[in-house]
Amino acid sequence: MGCAVTGAEAFLSGCQPSSTPGELFSKNDVALLNEVAETIIPITKNSPGAKEADIGAFIKTLVTDCYEDVDQKLFTTGLTHLQETSQAKFKKNFMDLEPTQKHTLIVNLDQEAKNYQKEKAESQPNHYFTNLKQLTLLGYFTSEPGATQALRYLPVPGRYIGCVPYERGTKAWAM
């Protein structure tokens, strides 16, 4: 019996995640992702911001677990580019910028991404900021705070009504 327990321990230790030295994102990277996401989807009086949904951790998991190596490299290089752009434009890291400076930088990166998307060949990858923004939106609106507070949420939906009049200013429905 003791042999079986020892053997089981050795067998189950193979289920442990690999060591963290080669981890793709550091804690600072996740904090940066949260800050960028919060700039894209800020807190309002009616809904929480992206930071409350911990979008940085969501993006880290999705990029680490689901992206191919080449796409991971593109994404992490993009984060470095974001910091370099922040340094060049404001002489500060993104985390140290004022909210208006963060907004300006994000708007500029969004425009850069849109221009890139218009001119890129079909075989070229998306701009890193396009991916970052899409992951932010996906993570936020599928998170509990995003789905239940930023959108209208009905945990047990009623019957289907195909035509409902739209009232200006109402929230979209969570899926």
* Cα angle, residue 71 at apex, residues 69 and 74 outer, rounded to 5°: 110
Evaluate if residue 96 carries a pLDDT over 70.
yes
Domain boundaries, the chain: 23-150
Lowest mean pLDDT among 32-36, 78-82, 118-122, 153-157: 153-157
Report which of 88, 91, 87, 109 is spatially closest to residue 39, judged by C-alpha positions: 109
Lowest mean pLDDT among 3-7, 79-83, 84-88, 104-108: 3-7
**Residue 11 confidence (pLDDT):** 43
Three-class DSSP labels, the chain: CHHHHHHHHHHHHCCCCCCCCCCCCCHHHHHHHHHHHHHHCCCCCCCCCCCCCCHHHHHHHHHHHHCCHHHHHHHHHHHHHHHHHHHHHHCCCHHHCCHHHHHHHHHHHHHHHHHHHHHCCCCCCCCHHHHHHHHHHHHHHCCHHHHHHHCECCCCCCCCCCCCCCCCCCCCECC
Report which of 53, 35, 33 is spatially closest to residue 144, judged by C-alpha positions: 53
Q: Cβ distance 41 to 95 under 8 Å?
A: no
Q: Cβ distance 77 to 60 under 8 Å?
A: no
What does the chain come to in residues?
175
**Residue 18 confidence (pLDDT):** 37
Q: Cβ distance 43 to 52 under 8 Å?
A: yes
Instruction: Count CB neighbours of 5 within 10 A.
Output: 9
**Residue 153 confidence (pLDDT):** 78
pTM for this predicted structure: 0.78
**Residue 14 confidence (pLDDT):** 46
Percentage of the chain beyond pLDDT 70 is 86
- Round the average pLDDT of the chain to a whole number and report it: 86
